[in-house]
Amino acid sequence: MFTRVQGKTKFMYFGSTASQAISKGAVVALASGRLIPAANDTDPSTIVGVIPEAITSADAAYATAGTPVAVEVPVEKMVVWEADVDATAALTTTDQGTYMDLYTDDTGLYVDTAVSTLDTVFCVGYISATKGRFVLNIGPDYMNP
């Protein structure tokens, strides 16, 4: 789960995708103009931010495509997010200053320290082997180093 710890953000509303559950704190992207959880292969230029509340099968946003859903969107480049790291590839202090991708489970909730194909996140802080601080390398200003 991604949680903002530093930097400026704002809430913007994007249309939901019918029958698409998204967990609270997931990194989300747009596909065909609708929200989806970001996956390890999601183009970072289509990622818009972090969803603050879950979309479950009981929600109107799950039942009806296009239902407006709040997304926390960074409004400056170095917004820092605390996030969980996939347990199979532990975060280390030497990972600080490196780019990584999201984990392959397609939930947008975890960072994969073992992969840096799309460079979706940049590690700026080590908390533990399973948690760190990251800057999202996303949106129209996405840069592939």
Mean pLDDT calculated for residue range 6-16 = 97
Residue pLDDT, tens place only, 88-135: 889 999 999 999 999 988 899 999 999 999 999 999 999 999 999 999
pTM: 0.93
Residue pLDDT, tens place only, 14-58: 999 999 999 999 999 999 999 999 999 999 999 999 999 999 999
Could you give phi then psi for residue 93, rounded to 5 degrees? -60, -25
Domain segments of the chain: what residues? 7-74, 80-136
Q: Provide the 3-class DSSP secondary structure of residue 61.
A: helix
pLDDT at residue 145 is higher than 60: no
